């Protein structure tokens, strides 16, 4: 195996490992927004956010809900 092929394989393996690590953290939630909304709704039932929020910190809002215009 030539030196260039080995370098390409090592670099490609590194990029693949990074992509595999980022998929469940970043890309899966972006694609499955409705699933994450339902899970959060289930886990947050019965919790009054204003009671548990530290003083001076904005109350949590839905990060998937579009804001603005």
Distances (CA, A) of 24 to 31, 32, 53, 56: 10, 11, 28, 32
> Residue 58 domain-assigned?
no
List CB contacts of 36: < 8 A, sequence separation 6 or more: 29, 64
> Residue 66 domain-assigned?
no
**The domain containing residue 26 runs over which residues?**
3-52
Q: Considering all CA atoms of the chain, what is the largest pairwise distance in Å, rounded to the nearest integer?
A: 64
Please tell me the total count of domains within the chain: 1
> Residue 17 domain-assigned?
yes
Q: How confident is the model at residue 67 (pLDDT cuts 50, 70, 90)?
A: low
pTM: 0.49
Instruction: Kindly report the length of the chain.
Output: 69
pLDDT > 60? residue 16: yes
> Residue 68 domain-assigned?
no
């Amino acid at each position: 195996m030539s030196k260039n092929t080995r370098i390409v394989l090592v670099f490609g393996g590194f990029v693949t490992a990074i992509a595999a690590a980022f998929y469940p953290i970043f890309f899966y939630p972006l694609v499955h927004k409705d699933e994450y909304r339902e899970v959060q709704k289930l886990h947050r039932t019965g919790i009054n956010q204003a009671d548990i929020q530290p003083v001076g910190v904005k109350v949590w809002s839905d990060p998937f809900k579009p804001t603005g215009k």
